[in-house]
Structure 1
């Protein structure tokens, strides 16, 4: 005699059965713990900035080489019709208030904006902080070598070409205003332009990681405004900006590639390949019925999915 038990209610699927997993919310404290130690980062920044400052003080070949290189840069740009610096410089000086604002922008934004974004990355995006910080430092290190190998007089040092230094012309404050500031910096370190390079780095971070549309918009505009300022104030040639931008873009690409490789799972080089087992083909009912010793699939199909069968 066959007794059929009543169907058992399966009920709603629980979250593990449905394949969903809950994950604890990531707080800013947890993200901060995963970041590198603060003291180590501060020491690294201090060491790097010291090297940056000392290297900029070194002028390889003297000022004669710097002015000779400036003549070559101008000739190269004029041959390609890229010499937009003089026109921008004259346009800026027509508006003294704008020229003063550009002087302050050139002297402050370069360090203040970059430092603010570095702190923001460390505080809120530690998972991206490492590779972005590495890219910034690598690009700047290569730029320091460029300053030593290729001294270059900025356009503001070429009055015979028609350029005017807005800081001197307006008696305004600027990055190199005053004897002390001028003595502590290599003013012939124009190639590549890390004003442009750092601005591109900052813009990339804001455009890629900024949550608000305004932050992304600033990320696009900030490098453009910076390049306009460094050209109009006669501190750089457009070639300087192009090389500085290319340097940072290359450093970002290389650092990101290395970052992804470190995060990707690694397979031992000598590990044998996992054999792929063939999946047996499901037999049809006639095939199963004609095979000696095969179960009666027709009888099995007659049993309902939600019924349990017991024999007495």
Structure 2
């Protein structure tokens, strides 16, 4: 090695002087070792918030009744306003309906018109379906929410989140893809509400002016009924109740096609929205909705943290 340069010598001399006088300033690593009181308090608060969020994700708190009622009421009010405020682009919606109908027929799955005509021959059946379409969509969904709130409060918030995200995604679909239902297309479809004089749809008859008639894609009758069906299947105790849960979205699919309120592709759209809802809840809570503890905070009274249906055959009956 050669002799040190003049600059190296000066630098070594300054370093030695700083060491003797204690004037060396702490670097990033040193300054982090002795934080002041404010920094310690900020870090403590941040850690507490993160811990609370993790705890809330894995063990949601018991929902508050008044808050949930207000949230559901306001959310549905906003949903109705947004859904019905989307411009009723009749020409665009009819063009989209024609495209969907031709696409289905090209695939050989355009069965809606045949089903519509076949079921319409039994007046008692089609009238019953009209009323089913108008009522159960709300009654069953609200009933499942109440059941979750009372019997599965630890899973309620996550399951409700799935429903809300699903509905929010549907609103985007209504805006971006206005679609006329088959009954408004002509093409030989029967508007069963108008023909039989029932009130099975807010989009037919005297109430048609208060509802957007071109918000058929995606079908929230399918999105909500499938949410109800899966919730009942995974959380109900009795086998026959779980079977009914699975049959409910199947019956709803039959109704929306028989009454010519939707194409089956609208049902596919509803399923996609629901899948997004479940994925969003999974990201928020870090586990699937039905894997959360049954009771808030993982109370000792909770029998299991994973639904027994996931490990017990259907024939086993009760949990």
- What is the TM-score normalised by the length of structure 2? 0.69
Q: Where does the alignment leave 5 or more consecutive residues of structure 2 unmatched?
A: 1-59, 293-319
How far 1:149 moved relative to its partner? 1.4
Larger Rg: 1
Q: Taking CA–CA contacts closer than 8 Å with sequence separation of 6 or more, which of the two structures ends up with the larger relative contact order? A: 1
1:111 aligned onto 2:138: yes
Compared CA separation, residues 72 and 178, structure 1 to 2 (3 A): closer
Q: Where does the alignment leave 5 or more consecutive residues of structure 1 unmatched?
A: 1-32, 265-312
How far 1:84 moved relative to its partner? 1.1
Query: 2: distance between equivalents of 1:217 and 1:165?
Result: 31
How far 1:253 moved relative to its partner? 3.3
Compared CA separation, residues 229 and 261, structure 1 to 2 (3 A): closer
Compared CA separation, residues 121 and 149, structure 1 to 2 (3 A): same
Aligned to 1:69: 96
How far 1:145 moved relative to its partner? 1.3
Runs of 4+ more than 4 Å apart: 261-264
1:177-215 CA distances to partner (integer Å, 9 max, x unpaired)? 542x21221111100000011010000001000111111
Which structure is higher in helix share?
2
Aligned to 1:140: 167
Residues 55 and 148, structure 1, Cα contact 8 Å, conserved in 2: no
Number of aligned residues: 230
How far 1:35 moved relative to its partner? 1.9
Residues 103 and 174, structure 1, Cα contact 8 Å, conserved in 2: yes
Aligned residues: CA RMSD:
1.9
Please point out which of 80, 87, 90 is paired with 2:114: 87
Residues 165 and 280, structure 2, Cα contact 8 Å, conserved in 1: no
Residues 193 and 205, structure 2, Cα contact 8 Å, conserved in 1: no
- Pairing of 1:190-209 with structure 2 (within 5 A): 190-209=216-235
Query: 2: distance between equivalents of 1:157 and 1:103?
Result: 16
Query: 2: distance between equivalents of 1:261 and 1:190?
Result: 32
1:186 aligned onto 2:212: yes
Please point out which of 30, 52, 70 is paired with 1:43: 70
Compared CA separation, residues 242 and 261, structure 1 to 2 (3 A): closer
